[in-house]
Chain A
Amino acid sequence: MTEPTTWDGEPSDSALVARWRGGDERAATILVERHAPAVARFVATMGERAEVEEIVQDTFVRAFASMEGFREASSLRTWLFSIARNVCRDRARANRRAVPAVPIDETHAQTENDPLEVAVATETESRLVAALDGLTETQRAVFTLRVSEGMSYREIAAVVGTTEGAARVHYHNAMRSVKEFLHE
């Protein structure tokens, strides 16, 4: 019997999870390559930009340690996001420190462009990031998952541990806060 694949012919998450459970360590590499970038984006927007890789690694180590108990009630990615959120919260609790000023990622810099355009772009991005930082932790998670990852409210609810309706309310409240911040 052939294993399930994604639309582009790659093994599906379920197939890779089954292979991992069967002792295939290569499956872990594929799953990490497939999902780590999205988890990293999510972690970065959760205010842990200085330790993104460490948190992503912690997320995957925890996930694979619990893989035997993963019953696929949600998608693997949704499950990984919920673990990542827990890791971020654990760190925040442990550190209890103020979120540092947000350095703009170097990958954002448009070095080929005019310096004035770069400055304007950087300032715009700074304001957008500042607007996100003004949200509550739950609002930021919901907003990021909706805008950046295109998740449904049902999936978002599974990540943040709330209802579908509450996730929708969080999204629109977050949007209102962001718009108010940007129009100040």
Chain B
Amino acid sequence: MSECKNLEVRDLLPALVRGELKSSERAAVEDHLAVCADCRAELAVVGDLASVLRSTPAIDTARIAQAVVRAARERRAAPTSLDAARRRRAMPRRAWLAAASLIAVAGAGALAVVASRNEVRQEPAAEVARNDTPAVVQPARSEPVRVGPRPASGTELVMGGGVSDLADADLESLLGVLEGLDAEIDVEPAVLLPLLEGDV
């Protein structure tokens, strides 16, 4: 059994059968069909299958709708295990935000320390600039390498405070970061249902 390599035309055969092609597409497909026996054979298969698949089993839509409404009323009357599962899943989201807040506050503290150190380091350079004399660059090896905590030199690591100590601009920036966090799970419930129901 041979197959035509023209996938673009073959992709359009179901739509041709359903009468859903634009006139320009239909003309192009029909031109191809006129010279391609493989695609004509495939079109016949698609047409036969479409007629079989399009037959609708007998269902009572009114009964189904009643069941939907009844289930919704029952859910409203008594929270289901699904609702409880949703509440359980909401917990990690709050924990997530709390952790993000802590990290942001710690980060702000670290930034404050770094900024404070930078101020200390810049003082000699500022003095040099004011004295208008060339700076003497000391070789790096003239100072012994210290391992361990730096000695106190007017800079202290202060971990106190919190969000209330942040300047307005920093606070706005922090809020922007927190709002940008996507705590929502980006899938439709259809994908989540098995998870929510513990069926994985």
Contacts and interface: CB of A to CB of B under 8 A. Distances in A.
Tell me, yes or no, whether A binds B.
Answer: yes
A157 to B, nearest CB: 13
A148 B56 contact: no
B: interface residue count bin: 35 or more
Contacts of B42: 175, 179
B190 A83 contact: yes
A105 B53 CA distance: 11
A128 B48 CA distance: 8
Contact of A29 (B20, B65, B82, B194): B65
28 contacts: A28-B69, A29-B61, A29-B69, A32-B64, A33-B61, A33-B65, A36-B64, A40-B57, A40-B59, A41-B57, A44-B57, A49-B57, A53-B59, A64-B72, A65-B71, A65-B75, A66-B189, A66-B192, A70-B189, A79-B190, A86-B194, A90-B199, A125-B52, A132-B49, A147-B49, A147-B53, A150-B18, A171-B11
Interface string A94-127: 0000000000010110000000000000001100
B135 interface: no
Interface of A: 25, 28-29, 32-33, 36-37, 40-41, 43-45, 49, 52-53, 56-57, 60-66, 69-71, 73-74, 79, 82-83, 86, 90, 105, 107-108, 124-125, 128-129, 131-132, 143-144, 146-148, 150, 161, 168, 171-172, 175-176, 178-180, 182-183
A41 B51 CA distance: 12
Given A65-B71, A86-B190, A144 B53 contact: yes
A41 B56 CA distance: 5
Contacts of B69: 25, 28-29
Say what secondary structure dominates the interface of chain B: helix
Contacts of A183: 1
Contact of B67 (A43, A61, A150): A61
Contacts of B49: 128, 131-132, 143, 147, 178
Interface in B41-91: 41-42, 45-46, 48-50, 52-65, 67-69, 71-72, 75, 80, 82
Nearest to B48: A128
